[in-house]
Amino acid sequence: MDIIIRQVMPEDLDAVARVEAVCFPEAEAASRASFAQRIEAFPESFLVAEQEGRIVGFINGCVTDERVICDEMFEDAGYHRPDGAYQSIFGLDVVPELRNQGLAARLMRQLIAEAKEKERKGLILTCKDRLIKYYERFGYRNLGISRSVHGGAVWYDMILEFEPEQE
């Protein structure tokens, strides 16, 4: 699978919005306007997977000092703190025809590596119960049911904390 993982660019906006619309129910999908705000505010924590010039997946989220995601973060890029402790993940999308081929894992591992490189304390995300085991394979811990009511779904808070470097 010849896929390039790179930082998002402003001209990726329409493609990213299309992928999101395919991957999430309307009530949970981020809007084009929300993606425009994210691309402007935190392109360094917004990675896309590109195959033959086509965006086929992405992972994105702001950086924060919070240990859990609140619903307001999804729509307000003002929550982004470039020097924050935790890289959040708002979405991990892969087009249906390329699922179950390791692309989501590649995106996740890349963002984890970049968070380590930037000396973050870890990463946070919310997910549905059916995905808890998937994220645990990367080292995330389930913190229980989230206060998030995004899209009317039940979400679970997950956290991946890096071990402090030994002197």
In 3D, which of 129, 36, 150, 49 has the Cα closest to residue 94?
49
CATH code, residues 4-161? 3.40.630.30
The H-or-E segment that residue 14 falls in is helix 13-23
Model pLDDT, residue 1: 61
Per-residue pLDDT band at 163 (split at 50, 70, 90): confident
Element (H, E) at 89: strand 86-89
- The H or E element that residue 105 is part of is helix 103-117
The pLDDT tens digits for 55-102 are 999 999 999 999 999 989 988 888 999 999 999 999 999 999 999 999
Structure token digits, residue 65: 């000092």
pLDDT band at 23 (very low <50, low <70, confident <90, very high): very high
HSE toward the beta carbon, residue 142, CA cutoff 13 A = 15
Residue 164: the pLDDT is 76
Residue 165 has pLDDT above 80, yes or no: no
All residues at 6 or more sequence positions from 146 whose CB lies less than 8 Å from its CB, including other chains: 68, 69, 126, 155, 156, 157
| Whole-number percent of the chain with pLDDT over 90 | 86
pLDDT at 166 over 60: no
Q: Where are the domains of the chain?
A: 4-161
- Angle between helix axes 32-41 and 13-23 (nearest 10 degrees) is 130
Most confident of the ranges 19-28, 74-83, 100-109: 100-109
pLDDT band at 42 (very low <50, low <70, confident <90, very high): very high
Dihedral pair phi/psi, residue 91, rounded to 5°: -160, 145
For residue 150, what pLDDT is reported?
87
The CB-based long-range contact list for 22-31 (8 Å cut-off, 24+ gap) reads: 22/93, 22/95, 22/96, 23/91, 23/93, 23/94, 23/95, 23/96, 24/91, 24/93, 24/151, 25/151, 27/151, 27/152, 27/153, 28/150, 28/151, 28/153, 30/74, 30/90, 30/91
C-alpha torsion sign, points 73, 67, 109, 21: negative
- pLDDT, position 67: 95
